[in-house]
Amino acid sequence: MTPSDYLAGAGLSFRPLAEALAAPGGRIVAHMRRPGATDFACVAALHDEIALYETARGEPPLFVSYYTADTPYEALAADLRASLDRHGLPHRIEPVASRGSWVANTGLKARVIETAWRESDRPVCWIDADAAILRPPTFLMGNPFDVAFVRRKGWEDLSGLIFLNRSEKAEKLLSEWVHLCAEHPNVWDQVLLSLSWFRTARATGMASQWLNGGVFRFPRPKVRDLRDSILHYPFRRKIRPFIDQKQASRALKAYVGASARRPDELGSDDLTEGYRAALASYDFRYDADLGAVVRRPG
């Protein structure tokens, strides 16, 4: 199956990038990079995106995660493992020693994923240890894209769920991400994931799927779950979540280091306006040096 076939199953298709960027309503849910030619993109309304997510097309990926040993993340990882087992999904969840800070520990993510990807015979999907499977993520089964993760606002990439296929482009992205995380341990992993994507897509014909943040259930009152199950999910007004994202890191940073943000720590809020605009418009002429991507403190 090709990315075009995958989209066609929900009545969607690629179109020239300029048309997709100018299309009213919906959002860009997939991008096909074509160096030296015209890029393509797919725009979808929410109900079409929901149709895309509800159909399983093949085998699931290997779900990969890690947790810092002897911290509350260990119990959270056990909950994740139980949820994967409950839905019959293959997984590889490992303990790691803390590097002394939250941002340094998240920098291990790229290396853990790359190792699992190289040792597996199937695509891999990273999932945070403080998450759990609510229902099988069918949109990842038989997914033909090189990479898939949540991109919000056209430029904000989230690293809580990352699908990487068995492709040369995914391998290049992973290698670049590992290199950047080792070189810049003070920068959030999702910022470096974004830069790795940008550099890899600029040079290769990479096919990317931008998942909707609605695949996650973020912490909220249960009455909202009840309201959505009655008023929204049956009528395809909202995505019924697949992943329970508990966001425990917001409360547990102090277990692995100082909870206050370090002076040299660089996150998504530090992305430059120029880089945000380049991501949103798929302008691969933008300078891909980290210094042009994030604002330095001070």
Does domain 59-145+153-204+213-274 bear CATH number 3.90.550?
Answer: yes
Cα–Cα distance, 116 to 131 (Å, whole number): 19
User: How does pLDDT run across 141-173, given as a tens digit for each residue?
Assistant: 999 999 999 999 999 999 999 999 999 999 999
Q: What is the pLDDT along the chain (298 residues), one digit of tens a residue?
A: 899 999 999 999 999 999 999 998 889 999 999 999 999 999 999 999 999 998 878 999 999 999 888 788 889 999 999 999 999 999 999 998 765 555 556 668 999 999 999 999 999 999 999 999 999 999 999 999 999 999 999 999 999 999 999 999 999 999 999 999 999 988 999 999 999 999 999 999 999 999 999 999 988 889 999 999 999 999 889 999 999 998 766 555 555 554 455 667 888 999 999 999 999 999 999 999 999 999 876 5
User: How does pLDDT run across 44-74, given as a tens digit for each residue?
Assistant: 999 999 999 988 789 999 999 998 887 888 8
Cα–Cα distance, 139 to 211 (Å, whole number): 9
The 3-state DSSP class for residue 10 equals coil
| Nearest alpha-carbon partner for 117 in 174, 77, 159 | 174
Could you tell me the residue ranges of all domains in the chain? 59-145+153-204+213-274
pTM: 0.92
Cα–Cα distance, 293 to 277 (Å, whole number): 11
| Nearest alpha-carbon partner for 184 in 296, 64, 67 | 296
